[in-house]
Amino acid sequence: MSPTDKKRQADFQIIARWVNEGDRVLDLGCGRGVLLEYLQQKKSIYGVGVDIDFDKILSCVKRGVPAYQGDIRAILANFPDDAFDRVIFSRTVEHLEEPDAILAEGLRVGRHVTVGFINKGFWVNRVNSLLKGRRTVNEVYSKPWYESLPSNPFSVAEFEDYCDARKIVIENRVYLGGDWRTECSKLPNLMAGYAIYNLASTD
Amino acid sequence: MNDSEQAPIIPDEGEVGFVEYQDFVSEEPFKFVSGGSLPELTLRYETYGHLNAAKDNGILICHALSGDHHCAGVHGIEERKQGWWNFMVGPGKPIDTTRYFVICSNVLGGCQGSTGPGSINPATGTPYNLDFPKLTVEDMVKAQSLLVDSFGIDRLHAVIGGSMGGMQTLQWAIQYPERIGRYIALASGARHTAQAIAFNDTGRQAIIADPAWQQGSYDPANGPNQGLAVARMMAHITYLSDVGMESKFGRKRRNSDESKEHFDVEFEVESYLRYQGASFVTRFDANTYLYLTKALDRFDLHSPESLDATLRPVTAPGLVVGFTSDWLYPPQGNREVVEALLRLGKHATYAELAMDFGHDSFLVRAPKLYELIHRFLSR
């Protein structure tokens, strides 16, 4: 595994912690299907990926991961309440056009929701912005802004405020440092490079 | 739908090469869903590759409305055109004949050697014509299953098809879930849209309104060729796309012969469609056209109860492929099949290819389609 893949997949073990054996899992913005393949192997899940890009679906087919090419909002509307044990948004929420509505749909369709994202409040991001006037470029996000997806990044503090406001229950949370591997707990909005939440709706 | 133009070839490495058709004859009476029956039936078919000892490497290919059993190779050195899916079927191709035993049969009700309205009714010694039983996609698939039985194959590695063949493929997954390892349905859907039915009926009316049709009792040598040609011309438009036609023909003119009649062929697109119509009548039977289009119009996986209820028996993993420029069987119709399968917790994948060739995109060699099918079959 390349260092980039290593970093890209650093959250897999944490995501897997909250997945039960044989769970039904929907991965929104599944990319190449690597996470679902991992969960299939570790937890024998029934997993479905969703992505807008044909080449990503092709990669899922190579991995034997069922996948749906299309719009996340449209496919969520297709499913009845609690159709899945878990809906995963791994580095997806920041790219959504209507994050609030789609997270609500995710919480309707999934009994639990996993959200993983890069913490905009991480001190390195602050320094890059403040001192260099530039966004952070790392192994996973190595491309310049003009070759990247539109992104609406947010911080740990902002996300937790949102969960409060929407009465979303945070069942578990894990903060990872700048290496996206070592867990950290102090001053997460400043010290966490990456954050992963296990969520459920209040009812 | 199998008129993709191909240069003459000499079979060589990577091609299935010379092929011969065979006839499968079932002497048992064959019962149709409609209640009608045939005392016996014949299916003309071709096979490519070898059936292994375990008899588990069979792939059934289902052809489209105007297709036939000849999907790969050539029948002789003088044959200009290869089978209709030659780019997909052969050694080292996605449907790899070094790995799989590939079967393709002319559909029940067809006119390329399988029993259809033009076949002789043994009871009367004359063609069935409109006495041929009402035909459904279920009947087509049931007949194919008899052919599969004849090879001693319990379970096919895969069933695959586009358009009408895609509908047969979906029907296979529903009707014989334990008999298939996986399935691929291209450019198909759960049922015809009102627009698709409208086009089909306009084609049928062109045939029926042709005086030569004779209530279906025409002499095959003097059939309703005008009507059938018009039906084909119109249907052919629905297999292409606006963008595709524009780039292929635009307003290009055939020639600027002023001496010609005002309504003679003037534009390239007219010439092309008239050729399509004229060549179609040499190889296709008008009554078969009526029967097959009607079977497709009546195909409806939403009935009798709901799409979910119909798809519930499916067990095999499936791949459904839609094409962005297909306005006959649009992406949404393909997608809804997978949406239902996923609601039911089935193993199903939906992929959508951005191609400009309209409904016929699945008959066009494209690297992405190539790889998608190769990968799905290899899993």
- Number of domains making up chain B: 1
What pLDDT sits at residue B11?
39
Q: Is B342 in contact with A69 (Cβ distance < 8 A)?
A: no
CA distance A57 to B94: 17
Sign of CA dihedral A173, A178, A183, A184: negative
Look up the CATH number of the domain holding residue A128. 3.40.50.150
Q: Which of B339, B368, B379 is opposite residue A54, by nearest beta carbon?
A: B368
Residue of B nearest to A66 (CA): B349
Radius of gyration in angstroms for the set of CA atoms belonging to chain B, rounded to a whole number: 20
CA distance B332 to A71: 12
The answer to whether residue A8 scores a pLDDT higher than 80 is no
CA distance A119 to A156: 6
- Per the CB < 8 A criterion, the answer to whether B227 and B286 are in contact is yes
Considering only CA atoms, which of B53, B266, B37, B12 is closest in space to residue B133? B37
Summarize pLDDT for B234-265 with one digit per residue, the tens. Answer: 999 999 999 999 999 999 998 766 667 888 88
Chain B residues whose C-beta sits inside 8 Å of any chain A C-beta: 317, 319, 335, 338-339, 342-343, 345, 347-354, 368, 371-372, 375-376, 379
So what's the pLDDT on residue A42?
96
pLDDT of residue B148: 98
Residue B6 — pLDDT band, cuts 50, 70, 90? very low
Give the distance from CA B243 to its chain's centroid. Answer: 24
Are B240 and B357 in contact by the 8 Å Cβ rule? The answer is yes
Residue position matching structure tokens 């499916």: B314
User: Does any domain span residue B219?
Assistant: no
Q: Which of B338, B370, B373, B374 has the highest number of chain A CBs within 10 A, making it the mutation to test binding with A?
A: B338
Would you name the residues of B annotated as active-site residues?
163, 326, 359
Give dist(CA B73, CA B86) in Å, integer: 6
Number of domains present in the structure of chain A: 1
Candidates A151, A174, A201, A126; CA nearest to A13 is: A174
**Quick one: DSSP state of residue B30?**
E
Residue B336 to residue B189: CA distance in whole angstroms: 8
* Nearest Cα residue to B123 out of B135, B136, B132, B110: B132
Looking at residues A103-117, what average pLDDT do you find? 98
With a cut of 50, say whether residue A89 has pLDDT above it.
Answer: yes
Specify the amino acid at residue B24. Answer: F
Strands B58-62 and B101-105, sheet pairing = parallel
| pLDDT at position B256 | 66
Q: Where is average pLDDT lowest: A98-102, A131-135, B54-58? A: A131-135
Residue with tokens 């969703």: A50
State how far the Cα of A129 lies from the Cα of A127, in Å rounded to an integer.
5
Listed in sequence order, the residues at least 6 apart from B247 whose beta carbon sits closer than 8 Å to its beta carbon are B356
Rounded Cα distance, B41 and B149, in Å: 14
Alpha-carbon distances of B49 from B59, B230, B332, rounded to whole Å: 10, 38, 35
- For residue A69, the chain B residues in CB contact (below 8 A) are 350-352
Cα of B330 to nearest chain A Cα, Å:
14
Q: B5 lies in a domain? A: no
CB-CB under 8 Å, A79 with B349:
no
Angle between helices B367-378 and A54-63 (to 10 degrees): 20
How many angstroms separate the CA atoms of B317 and B314, rounded? 8
What does the alpha-carbon distance between residue A151 and residue A56 come to, in Å, rounded to a whole number?
Answer: 19
- Shortest distance between the Cα of A29 and any Cα of chain B, in A, equals 14
Chain segment B292-310, per-residue pLDDT in tens: 999 999 999 999 999 999 9
C-alpha span between A56 and B173 (Å, rounded): 26
Helix H or strand E segment including A201: strand A194-201
Q: Nearest-CA neighbor of B63 among B148, B179, B187?
A: B187
A contacts of B320 (beta carbons < 8 Å): none
3-state DSSP call for residue A71? Answer: coil
- Please give the pLDDT value at position B336: 97
Show residues of chain B in contact with A48, CB under 8 Å. 342
In terms of average pLDDT, the best of A135-144, B59-68, B78-87 is: B59-68
Q: Would you say residue B3 has pLDDT above 70?
A: no
Q: Which of A48, A62, A69 sits opposite B342 (nearest CB)?
A: A48
Q: pLDDT for A142-186, tens place per residue?
A: 888 999 889 999 999 999 999 999 999 999 999 999 999 999 999
Mean pLDDT of B25-51: 97
Give, as one character, the DSSP assignment of residue B180.
B
Q: Which residues of B touch A79 (CB under 8 A)?
A: 342-343
Q: Quick one: tokens of B200?
A: 């089909």
From the CA of A62, how many Å to the nearest CA of chain B?
A: 6
pTM score of the predicted model: 0.94
| Residue B58 belongs to some domain of the structure | yes
Q: Do B379 and A69 lie within an 8 Å CB cutoff?
A: no
> Residue B350 and residue A58: Cβ atoms within 8 Å?
no
In eight-state DSSP terms, residue B211 is: G
By residue range, what is the domain housing residue A67?
A: 3-201
- Note whether B368 contacts A60, CB cutoff 8 Å: no
Residues of B in contact with A80 (CB under 8 A): 343
Nearest by CB to B372, which of A46, A61, A78? A61
Report the C-alpha gap between B73 and B15 in whole angstroms: 7
CA distances from A86 to A109, A110, B353 (A): 8, 5, 29
Distance from the Cα of B371 to chain A's closest Cα (Å) equals 8
Average pLDDT rounded to a whole number, residues B160-180: 98
- Chain A residue with CA closest to B322: the answer is A69
Distance, in Å, from the CA atom of B150 to the CA atom of A92, rounded to the nearest integer, reads 51
Asked whether the beta carbons of residue B342 and residue A66 sit closer than 8 angstroms, the reply is yes
CB atoms within 10 A of CB B242: 12
Contacts of B357 (CB under 8 A, 6+ apart): B240, B241, B244, B323, B325, B363, B364
Residue of A nearest to B348 (CA): A66
Give contacts of A70 with chain B, Cβ < 8 Å. Answer: 335, 350, 352
Residue A128 gets which letter from DSSP? I
| Measured distance CA(A183)–CA(A174) in Å, rounded | 7
Pairwise CB contact (< 8 Å): A24 & B345: yes
Q: Is the ipTM of this complex over 0.90?
A: yes
pLDDT at A142: 82
Q: What is chain A's mean pLDDT, rounded?
A: 94
Closest Cα to residue A30, out of A21, A40, A20? A40
Which chain B residue has the Cα nearest residue A77?
B339
CA distance A188 to B247: 57
Domain-embedded: residue B259: no
Mean pLDDT of B111-134: 97
- Residue B158: its pLDDT value, please? 98
- Is there a contact between B192 and B296 (Cβ–Cβ < 8 Å)? yes
State residue B257's pLDDT score: 66
pLDDT over 80 (residue A137): yes
Determine the Cα–Cα distance for residues B243 and B229; give it in Å rounded to an integer. Answer: 24
> Is the bond preceding residue B304 a cis peptide, omega within 30 degrees?
yes
Residue B222 in any domain: the answer is: no
Please provide the size of chain A in residues: 203
Structural domain includes residue B288: no
Please state, rounded to an integer, the average pLDDT across all residues of chain B: 94
pLDDT over 70, % of chain B: 96
pLDDT, tens digit (0-9, with 9 covering 90-100), for B190-238: 999 999 999 999 999 999 999 999 999 999 999 999 999 999 999 999 9
For residue B227 the two structure tokens come to 């009507």
User: CA triplet A117, A197, A187: central angle to 5 degrees?
Assistant: 75
- Determine whether the interchain pair B348/A66 forms a contact, defined as Cβ–Cβ distance below 8 Å: yes
State the Rg of chain A over Cα. 16
Please answer whether residues B30 and B122 qualify as being in contact, where contact means their C-beta atoms are separated by less than 8 angstroms: no
How much is the pLDDT for B231? 98
In a domain, B87, yes or no: yes
With an 8 Å Cβ cutoff, are B351 and A79 in contact? no
Would residue B271 count as lying in a domain? no
- Residue B125's Cβ-count burial label (10 Å; 0-12, 13-18, 19+) is exposed
User: Chains A, B: CB contacts under 8 A, how many?
Assistant: 58
User: Which residues span the domain enclosing B336?
Assistant: 22-192+299-378
User: In chain B, what residues touch A64 (CB-CB under 8 Å)?
Assistant: 379
- Residue B345 with chain A: CB contacts under 8 Å: 24, 46
